Structure 1
Amino acid sequence: MRTAYTALAFLPLALTAACGGAAKDAEAAPPPALSLDQAKSVFETYASADRKADSALDAGQLPAIATGSQLEMDTATYRTAKATGKKPETPTFTEPVFYVPRIASGQRWFAVDTASTTRGVEIRHALLFVEEGGRWKLAADPQRGNASPIKGVRLDDEGYAEAATDGLQVAPADLPAAHASLLTQGPQAAGAQNLAAGQQTTQTYDALQKVSKNLRKSGMTFTSAFTPAEQPAYALRTQDGGAVAWYALKQQEAYKGKKIPVSGELAGLLPGGQIARKSLTSTSLLQYLAAVPQEGQVAVVGLNRRTVAAQSG
């Protein structure tokens, strides 16, 4: 189904604090969200529970292992699978790399960069786990096709990462709104200049405009609008001072015409299956992974998309 200081300027202070400075620094460092061994255990427990739920197509098992956009997407996947008789392919994860940030306060979370192979194609998963109600759950799974592992995450001497919130071209919390504006209004929208041109940004906007134009020729109308999904953005500091960030968007699509075809994901979300409709609206969720620099444009490098709801007239 991821500020340097000049040594000479602080030399007197370093000398006077030589005996106790290291201990104070260690004492001041916030604790990791969980240990690396615990993160591995959470990941393995999730993978086992996911296989069990997929095998039974039992959406009742999902709230214990998934949350937010991931829960909605997995639930919709099961509905479509039951309607079409095609079970989803459960990924077998390999080569996991764990990124556990030190977190001073707030929600605990961590990421796993891992791989799976689907229909002969290797997929890289940037799994994002969050703690909710005392349980660890999968919150996002942006993916990259035939991609290399995430590189350059800053790790301390104990192997723990650093959560990134500031010092970036775009604050992680502001990424969803900027990306949604670009996809809805185009490259001239407010904040859109901070995102690099590419498949998940300008090319998606252009493709949607082309779809709208072609459907008008067929007597149909089509509109699409994006908004930030109702879940936080998360980011890890990289060695160059930038960050790798996770966030999610919601897409609302509306179609009107004499015969709107229904297929694919929509078949399991609408009563009557593949019967053509005169009007149709759908809601999709999109999970993204982005490389955020200190200066320059944000590159969107990973995506997971799923239509989660639909209505027809």
Structure 2
Amino acid sequence: MRAYGRRGWAALAAGVLAAATACSASGAPQPSPVAATVSVTPTPTTAPGVSLSEAANAFSEYILTDDLLRAAGDRRLAREITRDGRTDLANAEYASTRDRPARYAWGAPSFLVPRLRPDEPLWFTVVVPRDGRTAVLTFAKGTDWRLSSLSLLMPGEKLPEMKRDAAGYAETVGLDDKSVQISPRYVAPLHATIAERGPAGIAANLVAPGIYTTETAATIADNRTDAKTDGFRYDSIFTPADFPVYALRTVDGGALVQYSLLRTTSMTNVVFVNPFLPIPPDGRWALARDSYSHDTKIYETQQYVAALPPAAAATVIGYDGAITRANGT
């Protein structure tokens, strides 16, 4: 499943706003308690493309391999067990620590394995404690299983109850599904809109306020004002990434959606009152020099989990992201 492309998404967001308004008017590890409460529906007769045991084995192999690579500082192989936006984030994690990334302690996982046909793109989600927080990981299969997405639930947030059949398999939600207020395809572009423009954005009634939505927009506005005072021009733009979007059905008829955004933050020296541009401390590793006089661009890859009720605003409940590259003159 693919996210909406990078061009023309703002116009599409306007269309989905109208549609949404109309709609609202009418050896496996033991499961964790995190996602233990589920709705059970009859078991379909179709054999799944991914079995529960295959998902458990793939996850176990991943965390063992990942820990060995972190201990060895092997950035090249770390990229080989990831894909999509996770590859850039893995590279950044190693590069920013001089190939000494953090090692993690994992708890007991709970699996959300969709009942997919063997000829469909295959993926599954794992909900698992990691160093005291709940991580939501999704793996996708090409020639082998690789980590595609990872987000950490924010403090105080929890997953909605997930829908499963009698055999324990989860139910997917199509990217253009109209049973929810926002089809999963449009969550990323609407999130991007409100993160840039806040309550003034077209997504104000479709994406709930929060730290990664309206508060981000407020911070951008403040940074723009402060930069102008110092003689700089500042801007920060969000774009839906062309990576897979994953959506699973919740018991209330809504969806749990995983998606990625790309953020580009630029700063230009306009009047040269200050000789050097400010550089974010967590981005210094990605720059070739310690200081720049004319302009800088900072690029981030961000991965999110949003809870999408059938007739209410989407709420961002999980996030992980980092600066993945930067340049300047």
Whether TM exceeds 0.5 here: the answer is yes
Matching residue of 1:175: 187
- Find out whether 1:125 has 2:125 as its counterpart: no
The answer to whether the Cα contact below 8 Å between 2:306 and 2:314 also exists between their aligned partners in 1 is yes
Task: Give deviations 1:93-138, integer Å, cap 9, x for gaps.
Answer: 1021110001135211110001122xxxx22110011112x21111
Counterparts of 1:7-156 in structure 2 under 5 Å?
29-82=45-98, 87-104=100-117, 105-117=119-131, 122-132=132-142, 134-147=143-156, 150-156=159-165
Q: Tell me how far apart the structure 2 counterparts of residues 191 and 151 of structure 1 sit (CA, whole Å).
A: 22
Change (3 A) 1:222 1:31: farther
The answer to whether the Cα contact below 8 Å between 1:237 and 1:243 also exists between their aligned partners in 2 is yes
Matching residue of 2:278: 261
The answer to whether the Cα contact below 8 Å between 2:139 and 2:149 also exists between their aligned partners in 1 is yes
Q: Which one has a bigger Cα radius of gyration? A: 1
Matching residue of 1:285: 301
The answer to whether the Cα contact below 8 Å between 2:81 and 2:147 also exists between their aligned partners in 1 is yes
Matching residue of 1:8: none
Q: Tell me how far apart the structure 1 counterparts of residues 162 and 320 of structure 2 sit (CA, whole Å).
A: 22
Which letter maps to 1:196? A
Matching residue of 2:256: 244
Change (3 A) 1:77 1:264: farther
Q: 56-65 or 255-264, which moves further after superposition?
A: 255-264
Change (3 A) 1:241 1:123: same
Q: Tell me how far apart the structure 1 counterparts of residues 46 and 258 of structure 2 sit (CA, whole Å).
A: 22
Counterparts of 1:212-227 in structure 2 under 5 Å?
212-227=224-239
Shift of 1:205: 0.8
Would you say how many aligned residue pairs link Structure 1 and Structure 2?
279
Instruction: Report sequence identity in percent.
Output: 25
Which letter maps to 2:137? L
Q: Tell me how far apart the structure 2 counterparts of residues 33 and 268 of structure 1 sit (CA, whole Å).
A: 42
Q: Secondary structure at the match of 2:256?
A: strand
Q: Secondary structure at the match of 1:187?
A: helix
Which letter maps to 2:285? G
Q: Secondary structure at the match of 1:53?
A: helix
Matching residue of 1:206: 218
Q: Tell me how far apart the structure 1 counterparts of residues 257 and 54 of structure 2 sit (CA, whole Å).
A: 22
5+ residue gaps, structure 1, are: 1-24
RMSD between superposed Cα atoms in Å: 1.9
Task: Give deviations 1:144-186, integer Å, cap 9, x for gaps.
Answer: 2445652410011111100012211111111111111222233
User: Which structure exhibits the higher relative contact order, with contacts defined as CA atoms closer than 8 Å and separated by 6 or more residues?
Assistant: 2
Which letter maps to 1:107? P
Shift of 1:265: 2.9
Change (3 A) 1:212 1:263: closer
5+ residue gaps, structure 2, are: 1-41, 270-274
Task: Give deviations 1:191-223, integer Å, cap 9, x for gaps.
Answer: 442111111111111111111112222222210
Q: Secondary structure at the match of 1:142?
A: strand
Change (3 A) 1:305 1:47: same
Q: Secondary structure at the match of 2:85?
A: helix
- Find out whether 1:188 has 2:204 as its counterpart: no
The answer to whether the Cα contact below 8 Å between 1:254 and 1:279 also exists between their aligned partners in 2 is yes
Q: Tell me how far apart the structure 2 counterparts of residues 108 and 154 of structure 1 sit (CA, whole Å).
A: 19
Task: Give deviations 1:230-273, integer Å, cap 9, x for gaps.
Answer: 1121111011111111000001110123322335331221113x
Q: Tell me how far apart the structure 2 counterparts of residues 128 and 64 of structure 1 sit (CA, whole Å).
A: 16
Q: 99-108 or 152-161, which moves further after superposition?
A: 99-108
The answer to whether the Cα contact below 8 Å between 1:153 and 1:161 also exists between their aligned partners in 2 is yes
Q: Tell me how far apart the structure 2 counterparts of residues 52 and 200 of structure 1 sit (CA, whole Å).
A: 33
Superposition TM-score, scaled by structure 1 size? 0.84
Shift of 1:33: 3.8
Matching residue of 1:3: none
Q: Tell me how far apart the structure 1 counterparts of residues 308 and 157 of structure 2 sit (CA, whole Å).
A: 17
Task: Give deviations 1:38-75, integer Å, cap 9, x for gaps.
Answer: 11111111111111222232221023310011100110
Which letter maps to 1:240? D
